[in-house]
Structures are given as structure tokens and as C-alpha cells.
């Protein structure tokens, strides 16, 4: 049995997965702030999983952790997980001995991509497009992450699609993330609120012109990312996830309208049937935690489970 954890800025989602890849236990709890509290959160979540009826803690064989930060390739070292208050943390050192289990760590978007691919049937080519504070994608081919040459694969958020577009925090103008990233939208909306992107949608529905511009920009950015992922890597399916995807059908309707408009303008785009290739990760999906479990599983099975 493998454990997978998706350590998010507010909540940690933990699952226990059996050898067939089926989730047999799941717990969620608040994430602590800073390296010590994050490590404690993970250890406590694993212990809580062991108390779930039907889950046998003595059968745990590996722990995979998906975390919103840079993971040094081939290590368990996390850098710059700013939303967790973590500048640097070696998770094997921090939790490996407490759990007495092998630990593997992966960036949360990449882990979610693996999990979304497994939930989607585990075959073919897929991109998982994470719409959160920032925008990034994970590309999965037959159960394996496309890592690229230097770790920048899927960084579509910082592709500029409009030289006259808004300034991105990366320094460029018109990046996809400057249009569609949660932080960029909140900054341009500049109205306090706990769910600024939802507020923008509501205000746009009420006719606020600034909100309508921001909302249209979000759809433009997401549609541009979908086109880029298909026209470059030719993924079969693009699955939308991340905090902004909680807007559900309201978001999908905008993105579909944007993709339909470009398909009407271009017979080439029309032939790609992009609107049929975009799907929304269901709310509450355990994709990220499941993907983390698959990352951990690769420790003892060399990816056989991950590849289904």
C-alpha cells in the first residue's frame, strides 16, 4: 500500500492506494506554516490514514509528497515553497525516520498531472493545466511525466500571447499567467476579498466593465495555453485543475466560447476540435494526492504502478 499527500497552502489531502492503484482511504487536514509544521502535518496525516477503517498502516510501503515548490531533481529537497512558508526543506530528513518509510517528493502540479492521467484511464498523452496563483502544466505520456531537458517543461504560463497585454511579474508583457493567473487577476482587480477570481466573475455578471475585461482575459489565457499545449506537444486531452477550476461550468463556458470563436476564424484550428479536448478536473478530485502516491510507488516498482 502506498501513501500520497498533496500538501496545499491551506489543506493537505492524503490518500492510501492499494497495489491496483485504487484509493482505499483518504483524509484531509489543515496544513501548518513553515518547515517544521509542514513536516508535522505530513506525519500526522499519514498517522490519520492508518486509523481509517480498512487501511492497514503496517502495509504502508512508500510515501509520495506533492508540494507547491521547486523539487531538486532526484532528491527529496524542496525549495521556495513560498505558500507554505518553506524556503528549503529536505523531506526525507524531516519525515523519513519518523515514518520509517521511503519518501519521494514531486512538484504538486506534476504530481497532479500524474494522478489526473491515472484517473483518466492511464494511457495516451495528456496535459494537466493548473490554474492557481500561477499557471503551469504537467505533460504525461503513457503514465510517465514529460520532464524535458532542464525542468522547464509545461511552463506555459510565461509564454507571451500579446505584446500589448498586462505586465507579468516575470517581467514580460502579455504572459498567459498575466491574463489567467489568480495572483495577477487579484492584483488587477484590487478589491479585497477571499475569492477574488470568483468576485470578478460575479461582478462581470453584474456588468462591471473592469471585471468583464479581467474575466475575458482569463478565458483568453486558458484558451491560449490549450492551443499551445496541443500545437506543440499534441496532447490528446487538456485537463483543467487548480483553485480557479473550482469555478466549474462558469469557467468552462468562457473557455469553450473562446475556443469556438478561434475555431470559427480558422479551419486549421477547427480541424483540431480543441473544445472537445478540454476537460475539467471534478471538484474535490484526489488527483494530486493519487499522483503523489504514484511518485512514491516508483521507488519500489520503478514506475510499473504509475504506468498502470
Q: Is 147 in the site for its own copies (CB under 8 A)?
A: yes
> What is the Cα–Cα distance from 259 to 271, expressed in whole angstroms?
12
Residues 111-130 that bind its own copies (CB under 8 A): 124-125
Least distance in angstroms from the C-beta of 96 to its own copies? 30
**Radius of gyration of the CA atoms of the chain, in A:** 19
Burial class of residue 64 in the structure, from the number of CB atoms within 10 Å of its CB (0-12 exposed, 13-18 middle, 19+ buried): buried
Neighbours of 172 (CB within 10 A): 15
Query: Residue 23: helix, strand or coil by DSSP?
Result: strand
- Residue 147 Cα to chain centre, angstroms: 15
Q: Is 162 in the site for its own copies (CB under 8 A)?
A: yes
**By C-beta, is 230 or 251 nearer to its own copies?**
230
Least distance in angstroms from the C-beta of 173 to its own copies? 8
Q: Is 227 in the site for its own copies (CB under 8 A)?
A: yes
Q: Is 239 in the site for its own copies (CB under 8 A)?
A: no
**By C-beta, is 93 or 232 nearer to its own copies?**
232
> What is the Cα–Cα distance from 15 to 271, expressed in whole angstroms?
40
DSSP letter at 94 equals I
Q: Is 272 in the site for its own copies (CB under 8 A)?
A: yes
Query: Residue 132: helix, strand or coil by DSSP?
Result: coil
Least distance in angstroms from the C-beta of 174 to its own copies? 8
Least distance in angstroms from the C-beta of 15 to its own copies? 28
* Contacts to its own copies by CB under 8 A: 124-125, 137, 139, 146-156, 158-164, 168, 170-172, 224, 227-236, 262, 265-269, 272
Amino acid at each position: 500500500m502506498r501513501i500520497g499527500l498533496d500538501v496545499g497552502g491551506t489543506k493537505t489531502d492524503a490518500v492510501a492506494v492499494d497495489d491496483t492503484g485504487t484509493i482505499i482511504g483518504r483524509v484531509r487536514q489543515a496544513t501548518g506554516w513553515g518547515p517544521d509544521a509542514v513536516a508535522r502535518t505530513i506525519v500526522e496525516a499519514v498517522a490519520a490514514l492508518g486509523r481509517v477503517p480498512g487501511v492497514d498502516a503496517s502495509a504502508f510501503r512508500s510515501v509520495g509528497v506533492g508540494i507547491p515548490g521547486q523539487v531538486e531533481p532526484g532528491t527529496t529537497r524542496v525549495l521556495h515553497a513560498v505558500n507554505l512558508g518553506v524556503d528549503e526543506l529536505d523531506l526525507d530528513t524531516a519525515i523519513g525516520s519518523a515514518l520509517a518509510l521511503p519518501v519521494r517528493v514531486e512538484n504538486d502540479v506534476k504530481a497532479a498531472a500524474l494522478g489526473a492521467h491515472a484517473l483518466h484511464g492511464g494511457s495516451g498523452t495528456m496535459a494537466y493545466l493548473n490554474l492557481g496563483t500561477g499557471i503551469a502544466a504537467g505533460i504525461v505520456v503513457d503514465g510517465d511525466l514529460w520532464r524535458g531537458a532542464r525542468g522547464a517543461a509545461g511552463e506555459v504560463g510565461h509564454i507571451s500571447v500579446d505584446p500589448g497585454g498586462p505586465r507579468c511579474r516575470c517581467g514580460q508583457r502579455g504572459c498567459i499567467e498575466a491574463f489567467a493567473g489568480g495572483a495577477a487577476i487579484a492584483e488587477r482587480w484590487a478589491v479585497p476579498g477571499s475569492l477574488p477570481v470568483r468576485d470578478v466573475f460575479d461582478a462581470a455578471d453584474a456588468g462591471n466593465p473592469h471585471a468583464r475585461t479581467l474575466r475575458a482575459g482569463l478565458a483568453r489565457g486558458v484558451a491560449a495555453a490549450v492551443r499551445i499545449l496541443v500545437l506543440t506537444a499534441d496532447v490528446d486531452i487538456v485537463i483543467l485543475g487548480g483553485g480557479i477550476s473550482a469555478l466549474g461550468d462558469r469557467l468552462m463556458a468562457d473557455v469553450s466560447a473562446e475556443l469556438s470563436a478561434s475555431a470559427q476564424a480558422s479551419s486549421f484550428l477547427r480541424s483540431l476540435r480543441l473544445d472537445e479536448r478540454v476537460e475539467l478536473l471534478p471538484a474535490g478530485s484526489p488527483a494530486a494526492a493519487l499522483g503523489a502516491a504514484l511518485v512514491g510507488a516508483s521507488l519500489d516498482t520503478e514506475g510499473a504502478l504509475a504506468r498502470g
